[in-house]
Amino acid sequence: MTRKNYTLTKSVYVRSLQCERAMYLDIYHPKLAHYSPETLQRFRHGRAFERSFKDTFPDAIDLNFHLGMNICRYPALTASLLQQEGPVEIFEAGFIHDDVLILADVVRKNLDGTITIFEVKSSYNITDTLLNDVAIQYYVITHALPRIAHESLFSKPLRIKRFNLLCADCDYGFRSHDVTEQARRLAADIPQRLQHLKEVLRGPEPDIAPDTSDYGRCNTPYACPYQAHCLRHPSPAQKPAPSDL
């Protein structure tokens, strides 16, 4: 088994924007999570939408097919594919930067070395949560590409050309939105945010009281799976957290 070489993932980062205590539990106590039947159904719907979306890229290389749950190997295989001559399309392309791992739904390397990214969501609307999702991807990929290009056998630089957010439409298809500029603007604040999150993870469980009102942090934008834990322990014990981050 390849040693884990990252601290945060895209989903954990997005979780932190809702509640840093939930992020902490995602890292150290994920078994405490409890998902409602409604949430599980939303997950199933999202996966079904993603499967239908894959038909749009019949020649794309699916890293999940080749590597399964061996997530730590995704960035190396992604880099190897991007370093080859010619265009390529990759499902679940992996990138690591600043201790953050992201898996992009589709990454397309164009003939000129530019990169087009596609993120598919079963949402009908572009929300702040979706934009923060693409922003962390933009930040990580932007910083990972120069390193990949430096190790490549060809001279063309690798750079992001466009970031497309694909949202569901009423016909179970998708609508494409160019969110490159929004992602770039939001990514500017991410380094400082990541530094803060790493400090949070070095300490004890954050002392954040639950707010389970309809529009409280426990339910907005999504129902948090750690509500039962936080309600049982409204003020977490101040025990030292693992120090290997």
Predicted confidence at residue 2, as pLDDT, reads 52
Closest CA to 71 of 50, 94, 51: 94
Predicted confidence at residue 208, as pLDDT, reads 93
Locate all alpha helices (DSSP H) within the chain, ordered by sequence.
10-18, 20-28, 37-54, 63-67, 74-82, 128-150, 180-187, 190-202, 227-232
Closest CA to 148 of 86, 77, 201: 77
The bridge status of strand 100-109 relative to strand 88-97 is antiparallel
* Alpha carbons 60 and 172: distance in angstroms, whole number: 21
Predicted confidence at residue 1, as pLDDT, reads 43
Predicted confidence at residue 172, as pLDDT, reads 59
Predicted confidence at residue 245, as pLDDT, reads 55
pLDDT digit string (tens) for the chain, length 245 residues: 455 779 999 999 999 999 999 999 999 999 999 988 887 887 777 677 777 777 788 899 999 989 988 999 999 999 999 998 889 999 999 999 999 999 999 999 998 889 999 998 877 789 999 999 999 999 999 999 998 988 776 667 789 999 998 887 666 577 889 999 999 999 999 999 999 999 999 999 999 999 989 889 999 998 999 999 999 988 775 544 554 45
User: At 18, phi and psi to the nearest 5?
Assistant: -85, -45
Closest CA to 55 of 97, 6, 89: 89
| Cβ neighbours of 229 (radius 10 Å) | 19
| Cβ neighbours of 38 (radius 10 Å) | 9
Taking the complete model, does pTM exceed 0.75, yes or no? Answer: yes
Tokens linked to 133: 């999702």
